[in-house]
Each structure stands twice: as C-alpha cells, then as structure tokens.
C-alpha cells in the first residue's frame, strides 16, 4: 500500500469520525431538549397529584413548597366525593359523552358517505358551503344555539346539552377524505351484485376506515369530557352539571377556595380517565389522523 492510499484512508477515517461525533452530539442535544420539554409538561401533573395527597394542615403549614408529601392521605379523595356530588357529575358526563358521540358518528358517517360516494345535483356546492361553516367563529354558533335551545324550552335537559354537538364539519371532511381513498371499482362491483348503498357502507367502507372512525370517536370523547362553555351556559341546575361544571361548583361553593388539596384530588379524579384513554389509544389517534390526510 503506497503512501497516497494511506493518506486517503486516514482522511476518510477522520471525516467519518467527525460525522459520528456530530451525530452523537445532535442526538444528545435532541434528548436533552426533549427531556427538558417533558419535565416542563409533566411537572404540573406531578404537582397536582402530589398536592392531592397532602393533608389540609400540612399544606397550609408549608411556607416553602415541598416536592414530596410528608404524611400522604386519601382523605382528600373521600372529600371530593362526599362534600360535593362528584359522582353525579361523573354520571351526567358519561351520559352526555356516550350519547353525543354515538349520534355524531351516525351523522358524520352518513354525511361523509354521501359526499364521497353518491352523485347528486349540487354536491360540490353543498360541500363547499359546509366547509365554509368552519370559518364561522364558535362564539356566534354558541349564541344561535343558545337562542334555539332556549326557545325550544330545552335548557337544563340532556337533549339541550347533546343536540348542538351531534355533528362536526371537520370530522365530516376528515372521514370524507378517508372514504374517497377507497377504489371506485369496489363500489361498482358491489352495485353489480345488487348491494344497497347502506349495506356497502356498513360492510365495506366502515371496516376499511375503522382507524379513522376510532380516532374520531376518541377525539369526540375527549371533547365532550372537557366541554365547559356550552354546558355552563345551558345548565344552571346541579342535577345536569358535568364534571367541568362540577369543578367550578367545587371552587365556588364547595371546598375549593380553602381546601386546595381536596380540590386537586377532584381534578385528578376527573383527569385520569382521559389520560388513560389517550395512553391506550394514542397509536390509533396518530394512525387515523395520518390516514385522513393521505390522498390516493
């Protein structure tokens, strides 16, 4: 091996070493930044859970906040269910979430199927006008919905809570784009076999678009569980309060202004179902959103 070959090998080795060091530094910097971001995001949840296990006396005696509970107690969680009617709020929220999500799935599935597969006069114009509704501010929709529900005498009813939330232009668009990816040949073959549109929707399109439907379902459940403005506006009877209203009721008329640990316990109880739901179905959510955004 001559000296020129040795010099080239040395140069290549030096370049490869620098590239390897650069990759290592980039990876280390990425992990450091992600770790800092994770701490910033997760710390409020840690502090909420930590506070929920502190006793009322120990919490008030802390002039300097402690990052641990010296005498952890479950009494705050007992107070969250006994001092206020948190169980009732949970039941109301469950009824509202299940009914609203089920009705919305029926509405958006039929609408998306019509726009994606059926041919009728004015379809493009109707779909354009439907998308234009997304440009209307939510506050204007709330005002008109409030006037309508009030005029129909449906305040302080589950029907009044549910009806304005049984459709979503965005979810119709997302599902329509997903339906449009299914080859037309399947539809024509089904029609030749005498399959009705409804049977084709139920047996072909829905199973093929299951990831998107699961994603929409999960996102709607989260949306219903976190609903605050509309339930707060349309209900003033505690018998119809949701958990979001319940937190406000706890803060105003319960123990929230004084007993912060018990307040945090109530927040933990309300937050846990959504956290668990997201952790279980996070891959489905990402898969459904990505499928809805693909074309062809």
Q: How many CB atoms lie within 10 A of CB 43?
A: 11
Please, are residues 108 and 167 in contact by the beta-carbon 8 Å criterion? yes
Helices (H), the chain: 3-52, 56-60, 75-82, 86-117, 123-132, 138-151, 158-162, 169-180, 184-192, 197-200, 206-208, 210-225, 229-234, 243-253, 260-293
Query: Is the separation of the CB atoms in 242 and 89 below 8 Å?
Result: yes
pLDDT tens, position by position, 179-204: 888 888 888 888 888 888 888 888 88
Closest CA to 170 of 121, 233, 104, 227: 104
Residue 135: CB partners within 8 Å, gap ≥ 6? none
Cα distance from N-terminal residue to C-terminal residue, the chain? 55
Q: Rounded to two decimals, what is the model's pTM?
A: 0.79
Amino acid 296: pLDDT: 40
What does the block give as tokens for 134? 């997304």
What pLDDT, on the 0 to 100 scale, is given for residue 63?
74
The pLDDT value given to residue 32: 93
Q: CA 167, CA 75: separation in Å to the nearest integer?
A: 41
- Report residue 79 as tokens: 């107070």
pLDDT tens readout for residues 264-286 = 888 888 888 888 887 887 777 67
Average pLDDT, the chain: 83
Residues 6+ positions from 108 with CB-CB distance below 8 Å? 167, 168, 171, 172, 175, 216
State how far the Cα of 131 lies from the Cα of 216, in Å rounded to an integer: 18
Q: How confident is the prediction along the chain (296 residues), in pLDDT tens digits per residue?
A: 556 666 667 767 777 778 888 888 999 999 999 999 999 988 988 888 888 888 887 777 777 777 877 778 888 888 878 877 888 888 999 999 999 999 999 999 999 999 988 888 888 898 888 888 888 887 788 888 898 999 999 998 999 999 988 988 899 998 998 888 888 888 888 888 888 888 888 888 888 888 888 888 988 998 899 888 888 889 888 888 888 887 777 777 666 567 788 888 888 888 888 888 878 877 776 765 565 544 44
149-156 long-range contacts, Cβ below 8 Å, gap at least 24? 149/234, 155/234, 155/235, 155/236, 156/234, 156/235, 156/236, 156/237, 156/239, 156/240
Quick one: pLDDT at residue 122? Answer: 84
């Amino acid at each position: 091996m001559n000296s020129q070959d040795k010099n080239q090998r040395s140069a290549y080795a030096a370049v490869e070493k620098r590239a390897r060091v650069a990759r290592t530094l980039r990876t280390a910097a990425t992990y450091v930044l992600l770790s800092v971001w994770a701490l910033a995001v997760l710390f409020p949840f840690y502090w909420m859970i930590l506070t929920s296990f502190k006793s009322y006396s120990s919490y008030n005696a802390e002039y300097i906040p402690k990052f641990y509970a010296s005498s952890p107690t479950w009494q705050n969680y007992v107070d969250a269910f006994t001092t206020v009617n948190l169980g009732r709020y949970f039941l109301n929220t469950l009824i509202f979430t299940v009914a609203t999500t089920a009705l919305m799935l029926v509405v958006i599935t039929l609408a998306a199927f019509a726009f994606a597969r059926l041919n009728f006069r004015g379809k493009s114009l109707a779909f354009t006008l439907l998308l234009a509704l997304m440009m209307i501010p939510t506050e204007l929709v709330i005002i008109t919905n409030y006037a309508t529900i009030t005029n129909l005498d449906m305040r302080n009813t589950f029907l009044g809570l549910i009806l304005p939330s049984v459709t979503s232009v965005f979810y119709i668009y997302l599902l329509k784009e997903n339906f449009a990816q299914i080859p037309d040949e399947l539809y024509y073959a089904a029609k030749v076999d005498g399959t009705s549109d409804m049977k084709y929707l139920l047996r072909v399109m829905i199973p093929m678009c299951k990831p998107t439907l699961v994603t929409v379902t999960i996102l709607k459940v989260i949306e219903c569980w976190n609903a605050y403005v509309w339930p707060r506006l349309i209900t003033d009877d505690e018998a119809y309060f949701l958990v979001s209203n319940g937190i406000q009721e706890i803060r105003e008329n319960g123990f929230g202004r004084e007993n912060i640990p018990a307040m945090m316990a109530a927040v933990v109880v309300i937050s846990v179902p959504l956290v668990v739901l997201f952790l279980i179905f996070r891959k489905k959510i990402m898969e459904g959103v990505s499928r809805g955004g693909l074309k062809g």
